[in-house]
């Protein structure tokens, strides 16, 4: 969505823009080939931390194919690791830190001669002497309603699917009716502003109607960090959907704190079928240590309301091993999660996943703690090859083994795995139990360097 916003603005300013969906092209080489065919003057890209090595390889391939192009990167990973990324990947000409719209547009204005780049707030760039220069930060835009509709037409939107209800893959396009989140959860890598800014509900619904008219989109992910950050905004958005008789099914996420049943009922009437709650853990002490600013009582109340009024699916995200966790809090968390099940009835999502370990993302409080506790190697760089040393453990997700795991100094990851296996086997999903069964094979593969 970030790239689509930037492309829309670039087009509005008279530039030609094209989109390449790297995920579907299969390899960095294939992406570079496609980009080279388009022969752009400027290439912009964004990666998540877990995809950073593939992303950096893609950037190298693009540079090889287009030696003269200006390569600029952004998004949560590069925003938090700008200088490090530019030191490791000399192919990168600039990093846009944080919210990208204004910085990117000011950059484009200066690109023909590459002059005055030091005037662009929010930019980290390589100057004519090859030195990396960080400009002052960019203030987030106070008003996001004036932005054009993201240029979704540049991307293969019919290919974007997500299992919203059950495991059925529903074509889904993301929209955001707000940006930012004022909370400070220790594991969160939110690189946009902490101040919440809301899209005018009429503008948000214009976008949704346009998606319906132009592409036949009927499924939406409302990707706000906390859709219920403001009941007033959530109410206005739902009322606008209903007033315009917008027939869309949507999914969203919210903090399970002080929920208003009337707002949830309205969401349901306006097409929201599925809601995800960042529960994370089931004891008040770990909630506090994780900076969650919620209580178990609030979480229980949220589940009770969501279950009672009839959401089709309620997801609860959980993390085991956050700061302050002990085997006792694990036991209480699992008991707590089980006690939520009857409140949700058929909306209980069977994959409510116990056994997700905390991952360390750049710019998070957890990253600061991991460094202070020597969990990361002394010469650790976010953009140089890294493999989680404990990737042989069954709960280390094989997709995320290049992302460091946080390890509570009093509760090693091995202890968490052994404790869950011994005491909570029945609470683990089939996939996780399978990983336990394959653990010795995995250990062997790691030992002989196959992983």
Catalog residues that contact ligand SF4 under the rule CB under 6 A. 181, 183-185, 188, 190, 225-226, 255, 278
DSSP 272-283: EEEEEEEEE-SS
Total site size for ligand B12, rule CB under 6 A: 33
Of residues 362 through 391, those in contact with ligand B12 by CB under 6 A are 362
- Sequence-distant (6+) residues with CB within 8 A of 56 are 47, 85, 88, 89, 383
In terms of CB distance, is 225 or 325 closer to ligand B12? 225
In terms of CB distance, is 319 or 343 closer to ligand B12? 319
319 binds, among ligand SF4, ligand B12, none (CB under 5 to 8 A by kind): none
280 binds, among ligand SF4, ligand B12, none (CB under 5 to 8 A by kind): none
Asked whether position 28 contacts ligand B12 by CB under 6 A, the answer is no
DSSP 341-374: HHHHGGGB-TT--TTPPPBP-TTSHHHHHHHHTT
Q: How far is it, in rounded angstroms, from Cα 287 to Cα 281? A: 6
Q: How far is it, in rounded angstroms, from Cα 384 to Cα 151? A: 33
In terms of CB distance, is 343 or 370 closer to ligand B12? 370
Selection from 65, 102, 95, 92 nearest residue 77 by Cα? 95
Cβ 183 to ligand SF4 shortest distance, Å: 4
- Which residues are paired to 161 by β-bridges? 171
DSSP 85-128: HHHH-TT--EEE-SS-HHHHHHHHHHTTTT--GGG-TTEEEE-T
- The DSSP secondary-structure symbol of 405 reads B
Instruction: Give the tokens for residue 207.
Output: 């976008």
Q: How far is CA 48 from CA 153, 236, 400, 448, in A?
A: 23, 32, 11, 29
- Point out which span in 3-11, 128-136, 261-269, 438-446 binds ligand B12 (CB under 6 A): 3-11
Cβ 55 to ligand B12 shortest distance, Å: 10
77 binds, among ligand SF4, ligand B12, none (CB under 5 to 8 A by kind): ligand B12
- Point out which span in 74-82, 130-138, 262-270, 370-378 binds ligand B12 (CB under 6 A): 74-82
- Point out which span in 2-10, 210-218, 266-274, 326-334 binds ligand B12 (CB under 6 A): 2-10
Of residues 30 through 59, those in contact with ligand B12 by CB under 6 A are 44-46, 48-50
Asked whether position 124 contacts ligand B12 by CB under 6 A, the answer is no
Choose, by CB under 6 A, the member of 91, 106, 193, 225 that binds ligand B12: 225
Beta-carbon neighbour count of residue 310 at 10 Å? Answer: 13
In terms of CB distance, is 180 or 271 closer to ligand SF4? 180
Cβ 73 to ligand B12 shortest distance, Å: 5
165 binds, among ligand B12, ligand SF4, none (CB under 5 to 8 A by kind): none
Asked whether position 76 contacts ligand B12 by CB under 6 A, the answer is yes
Rounded (10°) angle between helices 430-437 and 439-447:
50
Q: Are 390 and 405 in contact (CB under 8 A)?
A: yes
Choose, by CB under 6 A, the member of 8, 17, 56, 73 that binds ligand B12: 73
174 binds, among ligand SF4, ligand B12, none (CB under 5 to 8 A by kind): ligand B12
Of residues 80 through 109, those in contact with ligand B12 by CB under 6 A are 96, 99-101, 104
Asked whether position 188 contacts ligand B12 by CB under 6 A, the answer is yes
R_g (Cα) of the chain, nearest Å:
23
Asked whether position 281 contacts ligand B12 by CB under 6 A, the answer is no
DSSP 423-441: H-GGGS-HHHHHHHHTHHH
Choose, by CB under 6 A, the member of 72, 117, 124, 299 that binds ligand B12: 72
Q: What are phi and psi of 426, to 5 degrees?
A: -70, -20
In terms of CB distance, is 52 or 424 closer to ligand B12? 52
Cβ 230 to ligand SF4 shortest distance, Å: 14
Q: Are 73 and 96 in contact (CB under 8 A)?
A: yes
Binding site for ligand B12 (CB under 6 A): 1-3, 5-6, 44-46, 48-50, 72-77, 96, 99-101, 104, 174, 176, 188-192, 223, 225, 361-362
């Amino acid at each position: 969505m970030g790239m689509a916003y930037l492309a829309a603005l670039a087009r509005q300013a008279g530039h030609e823009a094209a989109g390449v969906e790297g995920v579907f092209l299969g390899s960095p080489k294939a992406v570079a080939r496609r980009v080279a065919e388009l022969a752009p003057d400027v290439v912009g890209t964004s990666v998540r931390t877990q995809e950073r090595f593939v992303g950096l390889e893609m950037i190298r391939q693009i540079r090889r194919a287009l030696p003269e192009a200006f390569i600029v990167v952004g998004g949560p990973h590069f925003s938090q690791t700008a200088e490090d990324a530019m030191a490791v990947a000399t192919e990168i000409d600039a990093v846009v830190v944080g919210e990208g719209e204004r910085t990117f547009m000011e950059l484009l204005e200066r690109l023909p001669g590459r002059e005055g780049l030091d005037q662009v707030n929010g930019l980290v760039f390589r100057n004519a002497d090859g030195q990396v220069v960080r400009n002052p930060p960019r203030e987030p835009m106070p008003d996001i309603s004036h932005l054009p509709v993201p240029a979704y037409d540049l991307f293969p939107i019919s290919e974007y699917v997500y299992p919203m209800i059950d495991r059925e893959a529903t074509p889904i396009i993301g929209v955001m009716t707000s940006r930012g989140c004022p909370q400070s959860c220790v594991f969160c890598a939110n690189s946009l502003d902490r101040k919440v800014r809301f899209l005018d509900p009429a503008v948000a619904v214009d976008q949704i109607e346009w998606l319906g008219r132009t592409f036949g989109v009927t499924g939406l992910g409302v990707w706000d960090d906390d859709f219920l950050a403001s009941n007033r905004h959530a109410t206005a958005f739902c009322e606008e959907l209903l007033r315009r008789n917008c027939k869309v099914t949507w999914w969203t996420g919210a903090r399970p704190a002080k929920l208003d049943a009337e707002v949830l009922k309205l969401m349901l009437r306006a097409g929201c079928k599925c809601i995800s709650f960042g529960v994370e853990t089931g004891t008040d002490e770990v909630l506090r240590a994780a900076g969650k600013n919620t209580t178990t009582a609030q979480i229980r109340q949220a589940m009770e309301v969501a279950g009672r009024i009839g959401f089709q699916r309620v997801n609860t995200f959980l993390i085991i091993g956050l700061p302050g966790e002990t085997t006792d809090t694990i036991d209480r968390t699992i008991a707590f999660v089980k006690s939520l099940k009857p409140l949700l009835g058929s909306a209980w999502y069977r994959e409510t996943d116990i056994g997700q370990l905390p991952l360390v993302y750049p710019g998070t409080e957890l990253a600061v703690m991991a460094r202070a506790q020597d969990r990361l190697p002394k010469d650790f760089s976010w953009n140089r090859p890294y493999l989680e040393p404990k990737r042989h453990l069954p709960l280390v997700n094989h997709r995320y083994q290049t992302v460091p795991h946080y390890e509570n100094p009093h509760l090693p990851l091995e202890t968490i795995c052994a404790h869950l296996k011994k005491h909570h086997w029945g609470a683990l999903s089939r996939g996780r139990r399978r990983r336990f069964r394959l653990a010795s094979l995995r250990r062997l593969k790691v030992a002989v360097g196959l992983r």
